Amino acid sequence: MSFIPRFKLYNVGDSLIYTFPYVQYTNAPRSVKSLVEIKSQRGKGSIIIDGGDDNWDLIIRFLITGEDYEEITSKIATLESTIQLNTPYVLRIDKTDSTYFEYKVKRISAIEYSESLRNGEGIQECTLTLRVNSW
């Protein structure tokens, strides 16, 4: 059986609060390091030091499925109430069964729902944008 990465959201107390179903796209993993260059006053070189991690927007596009429209709207309501705006979370993306990427994130905007997939087939596409290194 092959490994399927899981995207899991934890609260600051390290309790699992949401597992993203059927992730279709993400721009993670990514690490944005800022560098600071200090130049010599005499113009004979410079040193470069680590300036820390910059903020960046992590996008997760995933599908919510259900038997009917009522079940999907119920899952959307749960999603909206679980992942609050401007609240600190930890997102873990499994690399293997025992290793993962981990990001400190906050939701910074409304969750987007594609109208084209509300087609009675029991599928709704959702796009969530999280700000990494925001707390």
Give me the pLDDT at residue 22, please: 93
pTM score, whole prediction: 0.82
Dihedral angle over CA of 11, 13, 19, 20, nearest 10: 30
Chain position carrying tokens 């004979």? 44
Q: Average the pLDDT over 111-124 and give the result.
A: 77
Q: Model confidence over 50-77: pLDDT tens digits?
A: 877 888 999 999 999 988 888 998 999 9
In angstroms, the CA 29 to CA 135 distance is 18
Q: Counting every residue, how long is the chain?
A: 135
User: Is 109's pLDDT higher than 80?
Assistant: yes
Given this model, what pLDDT does residue 115 score?
A: 79
**What mean pLDDT value characterizes the chain?**
88
pLDDT digits (tens, 9 = 90+) for 39-48: 888 777 888 8
Q: Which of 81, 69, 92, 89 is nearest to 130 (CA)?
A: 89
pLDDT tens-digit readout, 8-33: 999 998 999 999 999 999 998 877 77
Please confirm whether the linkage preceding 29 is cis (ω < 30° from 0): yes
| Range 99-118 average pLDDT | 87
How many whole angstroms separate alpha carbon 14 and alpha carbon 102? 12
Domains delineated in the chain: 7-132 (2.40.30.200)
Strand partners, 132: 56, 105
Single-letter amino acid code for the residue at 119: N
Between 49 and 1, residue with greater pLDDT: 49
